[in-house]
């Protein structure tokens, strides 16, 4: 089964004015599609992996054959990260933004870890703003079940190190350059208006260890 572009839950223009329609269209139909095409080409060389979810491919990166390992890391990462990103976004006026605040379970965990939502938001934004070059900013549940904020280079996914992404922000210039040019900080500030906190809560609940 080849990997395919997931359906978007909104139209390209629905994230305006925070993310413009043209950026959404190119980002989704060109950039994301290219990651998928390259991943499919690599997996075609090793069809024994074709039924693996992209997350499983990344979580088991060291057992991926060497001749395709870097492609899986970069393009599989690109596919996983973008599929994740589209889902944690929603139109600013949607009820899913939950008044631009985390929902109850994640909110409690954020307060426990970072003292307040404001401190969390500042820390996440600072990590995103100070990231050098292309990459992603993340809130993850790490392997010790702690919430952690960090950034990754290129298309490196938290799954590579066993962490589970809860919230993520694309820091590649292709994500914002048409509208914001060099003003990455404005794009990062805009992001807080279009977060689907309902989905982020779901990510947090799913990340919890089962026992
Ligand atoms: Fe991107």
Condensed to tens digits (0 to 9), the pLDDT of residues 119-174 reads 999 999 999 999 999 999 999 999 999 999 999 999 999 999 999 999 999 999 99
As a whole number, the mean pLDDT across the chain is 97
Res 211: pLDDT: 64
Q: For residues 97 and 15, is the Cβ–Cβ distance under 8 A?
A: no
Q: How far is the CA of 50 from the centre of ligand 1 (A)?
A: 24
What is the C-alpha separation between 189 and 28, in angstroms, rounded? Answer: 21
- Output the six-digit token pair for 153: 């280079």
- Output the six-digit token pair for 65: 């054959």
Q: How far is the CA of 157 from the centre of ligand 1 (A)?
A: 13
Q: How far is the CA of 36 from the centre of ligand 1 (A)?
A: 12
Res 4: pLDDT: 97
Instruction: Work out whether the CA dihedral 131, 136, 139, 142 comes out positive or negative.
Output: negative
Number of H helices, E strands in the chain: 10, 3
Q: How far is the CA of 51 from the centre of ligand 1 (A)?
A: 24
Res 164: pLDDT: 98
**Residue 99: CB partners within 8 Å, gap ≥ 6?**
none
Res 209: pLDDT: 84
Q: How far is the CA of 131 from the centre of ligand 1 (A)?
A: 15
Q: How far is the CA of 168 from the centre of ligand 1 (A)?
A: 11
Res 210: pLDDT: 78
SS3 193: coil
Res 64: pLDDT: 97
What is the C-alpha separation between 83 and 209, in angstroms, rounded? Answer: 23
Q: Over its length of 211 residues, how does the chain's per-residue pLDDT go in tens digits?
A: 799 999 999 999 999 999 999 999 999 999 999 999 999 999 999 999 999 999 999 999 999 999 999 999 999 999 999 999 999 999 999 999 999 999 999 999 999 999 999 999 999 999 999 999 999 999 999 999 999 999 999 999 999 999 999 999 999 999 999 999 999 999 999 999 999 999 999 999 999 987 6
Q: How far is the CA of 27 from the centre of ligand 1 (A)?
A: 6
Q: How far is the CA of 98 from the centre of ligand 1 (A)?
A: 25
pTM above 0.85, yes or no: yes
- Output the six-digit token pair for 35: 């990651």
Q: How far is the CA of 211 from the centre of ligand 1 (A)?
A: 35
β-sheet bridge partners, residue 139: 149, 167
Q: How far is CA 20 from the centre of its chain?
A: 18
Q: How far is the CA of 31 from the centre of ligand 1 (A)?
A: 7
Q: For residues 168 and 85, is the Cβ–Cβ distance under 8 A?
A: yes
**Residue 9: CB partners within 8 Å, gap ≥ 6?**
86, 87, 90
How would you class 53 by CB atoms within 10 Å of its CB: exposed for 0-12, middle for 13-18, buried for 19 or more? Answer: exposed
């Amino acid at each position: 089964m080849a990997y395919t572009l997931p359906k978007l839950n909104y139209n390209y223009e629905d994230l305006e004015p925070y993310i413009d329609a043209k950026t959404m269209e190119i980002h989704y139909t060109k950039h994301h599609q290219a990651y998928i095409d390259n991943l499919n080409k690599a997996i075609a060389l090793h069809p024994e992996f074709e039924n693996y979810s992209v997350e499983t491919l990344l979580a088991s990166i060291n057992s991926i054959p060497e001749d395709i390992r870097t492609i899986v890391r970069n393009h599989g990462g690109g596919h996983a990260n973008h599929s994740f990103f589209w889902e944690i976004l929603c139109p600013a006026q949607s009820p899913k933004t939950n008044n631009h605040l985390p929902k109850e379970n994640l909110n409690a965990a954020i307060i426990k870890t970072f003292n307040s939502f404001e401190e969390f938001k500042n820390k996440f934004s600072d990590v995103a703003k100070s990231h050098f070059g292309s990459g992603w900013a993340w809130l993850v549940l790490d392997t010790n079940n702690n919430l952690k904020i960090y950034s990754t280079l290129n298309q490196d996914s938290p799954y590579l190190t066993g962490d589970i992404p809860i919230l993520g922000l694309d820091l590649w210039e292709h994500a914002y350059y048409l509208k914001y040019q060099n003003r990455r900080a404005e794009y990062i500030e805009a992001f807080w208006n279009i977060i689907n906190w309902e989905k982020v809560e779901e990510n947090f609940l799913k990340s919890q260890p089962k026992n």
